Structure 1
């Protein structure tokens, strides 16, 4: 989503915490420019935060294998929460999986059936720790040309190929429904069995284990470090960021964010293409 370019200064009244201990930032539409690049200004801001003793976590819906967009720029802050909270990886160790919070395959199959019954025409993909697998009708990602193709039933069955690999996310796409309409429908028919969210401008849903989200995994990582939610500053732009933004003591929606995100965050910064995350980090550091 985009919005008109604005000034570099977040609107009056936006919070600036006195001394945060951890910055949690989404990537696409937030830290990254629309061309998926990381600006020099943002790289410098992240490095300066680390030098000031503030840990940086990248918190994204992306799988670990797509983290090369930031892995060359981490400067010591090499931890990432991927797949909307289903995986924690160490970017400095080549994306080594530290923790996974999988979606049970039988539950994933139940969700697939519920979505097909409620929204005929739904197609699915299965994201595992070993890679992604598609149904033939699912719009495939160019970044994964070697993915296997089969029905969701075969991809998810316990005795199927690759069934030993934990399922991190189930993806569901509908060619006709609106993105928010598909999300609302899916939560109605299957929200008691899994966590369902979205981050795409299309009707593409991301489905994780019940209770698994960016926020819940970030909370676990912070607890391990003795960091409270009040000491966290979070940035995001899409519905899959909502729980994280409301959990963090201080949160910023990008000016290009989804309306629900703009309403939920405690502050607002400029767009991702204007380095909105870096703008806030620079202001925080200037106050230390």
Structure 2
């Protein structure tokens, strides 16, 4: 079965590797996604919350609802830190959280977001000066700065990225490529042409067209004419294996592109590192997601919540299935967390819109 991320053969388990996305058991859990027995989820140990953006925190209109903002204020007041983890690069995260699509001064400027994990975890940022929000003892709110500050990153070298491009082109000569680093995006002319004719979540511009990467990148992306990225994942991994490329993670987040990053660039790894920097563990994280690139995060988190609009293979790795992103599914669970901290969410919750995985299948 295709999972949220596929690794080339150079990947190996180790301290920085993503946790296994299989079924888990332990304190506060009973049963699993495929078990017949009802399961229960322990919210008492939740100290941190991580949410995907598109299809999760954001509604279809790419806005964060007022109800969700109110729930995030409740988290802050309760001393529970909140982070976003997205396949989007930083500038496109800022666009929806602090741009015209946001509310008021925006989530990043408001102090409601303690960390930003961009490009599928390739880079971790903190949003404000004086609040290194992924460090123990930091204050919850501090003055905003122009852009979040990078505190950790995993990059592909220019040579590795170029080698990957060459390998992929042997399979799909018509592919177009783009590459991210912080606020910078560049692409080849083929990628720009594809972005004009099919759905691609990247902002191309004439002055950013280059032949290839000139320096390290957080994430390499490519698109093939009239092809669905998820249909290209397995073959991409095989092509890169055959080419003996650098160890990478290959993902799809429904952004119209195949995403390739260094093997350490992973939402689960980034969330675990963020928790560790605060003296916590991934077991203390409540995570939300809806797409294939969220599976490892949902499986690794202390409590993983799939959205009602999530694909079945994503929900299969979650502990709960909430309402859809357009029905404030994140807020529904956060309100439950705030209202009943220390309580058990049973397999048949009393809060409308929250379903155990078994009932949602």
- TM-score higher than 0.5: yes
Which structure: larger Rg?
2
Number of the residue aligned with 1:172: 222
Q: How does 1:99-178 map to 2 (within 5 A)?
A: 99-138=152-191, 139-140=194-195, 143-145=203-205, 147-151=207-211, 155-156=212-213, 160=214, 163=215, 166-178=216-228
- Structure 2 residue ranges without an equivalent (≥5): 1-37, 99-105, 129-144, 196-200, 342-361
**Is residue 2:66 matched to residue 1:40?**
yes
Give the Cα–Cα distance (whole angstroms) in 2 for the partners of residues 14 and 255 of structure 1. Answer: 18
Q: Among residues 209, 212, 218, which one is paired with 2:271 in the alignment? A: 218
Give the Cα–Cα distance (whole angstroms) in 2 for the partners of residues 221 and 73 of structure 1. Answer: 19
Deviation at 1:211, TM superposition (A): 2.6
Q: Among residues 319, 340, 344, which one is paired with 1:287 in the alignment? A: 340
Number of the residue aligned with 1:3: none
Number of the residue aligned with 2:253: 199
More helix, by proportion: 1
Deviation at 1:236, TM superposition (A): 0.5
Q: How does 1:35-114 map to 2 (within 5 A)?
A: 35-68=61-94, 69-71=96-98, 72-74=106-108, 75-78=110-113, 79-92=115-128, 93=145, 94-114=147-167
Residue deviations 1:28-59, cap 9 Å, x none? Answer: 11000111111100000011011111110111
Given the two structures, how large is their TM-score scaled by the length of structure 1?
0.86
Deviation at 1:118, TM superposition (A): 2.1
Give the Cα–Cα distance (whole angstroms) in 2 for the partners of residues 147 and 199 of structure 1. Answer: 26
Residue deviations 1:119-143, cap 9 Å, x none? Answer: 3322110112351111111134674
Given the two structures, how large is their TM-score scaled by the length of structure 2?
0.69
- SS of the residue corresponding to residue 261 of structure 1 reads helix
- Number of matched pairs: 266
Number of the residue aligned with 1:186: 236
Deviation at 1:91, TM superposition (A): 2.1
- Structure 1 residue ranges without an equivalent (≥5): 1-11
- SS of the residue corresponding to residue 336 of structure 2 reads helix
